[in-house]
A and B are shown apart, each in its own frame.
Chain A
Amino acid sequence: DAGITQSPRHKVTETGTPVTLRCHQTENHRYMYWYRQDPGHGLRLIHYSYGVKDTDKGEVSDGYSVSRSKTEDFLLTLESATSSQTSVYFCAISESGGSTDTQYFGPGTRLTVL
């Protein structure tokens, strides 16, 4: 398995509270991604990063921000959590983003917003 860790693994928070999820990799891969997984929707891309301080939006980026100050860390922040953001969040990494690149996934963070 690729060296990807996510923290925390589980979190329960209240509506309106800021939340930060962390993804850490030991593979020195250039690309990192945040997805959310919801029943009936599969995985949907929130944001991705193609290098330190280089990030871009995915298909469901509203209400989320990201930062990447080091190659190994990619943070996902919910500025003011809402119940619709209750989900399982997966981080993924890939080496180059090229056409034959493959994404590898972390263990996930289960977030519940009450």
Chain B
Amino acid sequence: AQSVSQHNHHVILSEAASLELGCNYSYGGTVNLFWYVQYPGQHLQLLLKYFSGDPLVKGIKGFEAEFIKSKFSFNLRKPSVQWSDTAEYFCAVKNSGGYQKVTFGTGTKLQVIP
């Protein structure tokens, strides 16, 4: 069975600081990977996704993520955060064959202090 770990449950940063949120998954086969963001009181929105090709994926709002297959990781990064990035971030993994189940991590709450 696949699983996703987000080790940082709550991150507090000052504006302009750099961000890296960890995501590790466990699955023996080929996976597709996603990062979603949930702003306070809102639904989940897709930030970026990786299916194949360049392991460095760029998403909306200046976010990017790097897939490192050898480390089973898909960490989310942003060079300079803004107060408006305050939200909860979810990593998700889907196996690329068979039943298309998506497994979500438990989320990381990011608080950006002005």
Contact residues of A with B, CB < 8 Å? 1, 31, 40-45, 90, 94, 97-108
Contacts and interface: CB of A to CB of B under 8 A. Distances in A.
Contact of A45 (B51, B90, B101, B107): B101
Nearest to B36: A105
Interface in B52-75: none
Interface stretch (B13-21, B37-45, B77-85): B37-45
Interface residues of B, number: 22
B105 A42 contact: yes
Given A99-B32, A105-B44, 11 more contacts: A42-B90, A42-B105, A42-B107, A43-B90, A94-B100, A98-B100, A99-B51, A100-B96, A102-B34, A104-B46, A108-B43
Contacts of B44: 43, 90, 105
A97 B106 contact: no
B106 A107 contact: no
Contacts of A108: 43
Given A40-B106, A45-B101, A105 B51 contact: no
Nearest to A41: B106
Given A40-B106, A99-B94, A105 B100 contact: no
A100 B94 CA distance: 9
Given A42-B90, A42-B105, A107 B42 contact: yes
> Which secondary structure characterizes the binding site on chain A?
loop
A47 to B, nearest CB: 12
A101 B106 CA distance: 21
B96 A105 contact: no
Contact of B104 (A43, A102, A104): A43
A67 to B, nearest CB: 21
A34 to B, nearest CB: 13
Nearest to A108: B43
B28 interface: no
A106 B94 CA distance: 20
A107 B43 CA distance: 5
Given A43-B90, A105-B43, A105-B44, A100 B106 contact: no
